Amino acid sequence: GAGVSQSPRYKVAKRGQDVALRCDPISGHVSLFWYQQALGQGPEFLTYFQNEAQLDKSGLPSDRFFAERPEGSVSTLKIQRTQQEDSAVYLCASSSDRGAYNEQFFGPGTRLTVL
């Protein structure tokens, strides 16, 4: 079956522009995670959804970052008024549940470059 997909794969934005990044999780997966991976670093947690409920947004770096999953499947991460420090790879992952026995499956990522 299809894995986690993300679009676009690459995005170049001018400083101050708004961007929207999309994640299509594996069908039926309840849990969805967003991570930010800066160059040379490991992924850092941004936010978590269980179905349509955003249960944890403790990793969002500022109020310019907003995520939604209105119907409990596709999710969108929106960044308003992008800044150069937002340049990173944004990873989406889904799992059938949140526990340690449930593997998180990662998408290919969206590489965002803010000029």
Partner 1 sequence: AQRVTQPEKLLSVFKGAPVELKCNYSYSGSPELFWYVQYSRQRLQLLLRHISRESIKGFTADLNKGETSFHLKKPFAQEEDSAMYYCALLGGGKLIFGQGTELSVKP
Concatenated DSSP letters of 32-99? EEEEEE-TTS--EEEEEEETTEEEE-TT--STTEEEE-TTSS-EEEEESS--GGG-EEEEEEEESSSS
Stretch of residues binding partner 1 (CB under 8 A), selected from 19-27, 65-73, 79-87, 103-111: 103-111
Minimum distance, C-beta of residue 95 to partner 1, in the bound complex (Å): 10
Say whether residue 108 binds partner 1 (CB under 8 A): yes
Shortest Å distance, C-beta 3 to partner 1? 8
- Exactly one of 43, 77, 82, 94 binds partner 1 (CB under 8 A); that residue is 43
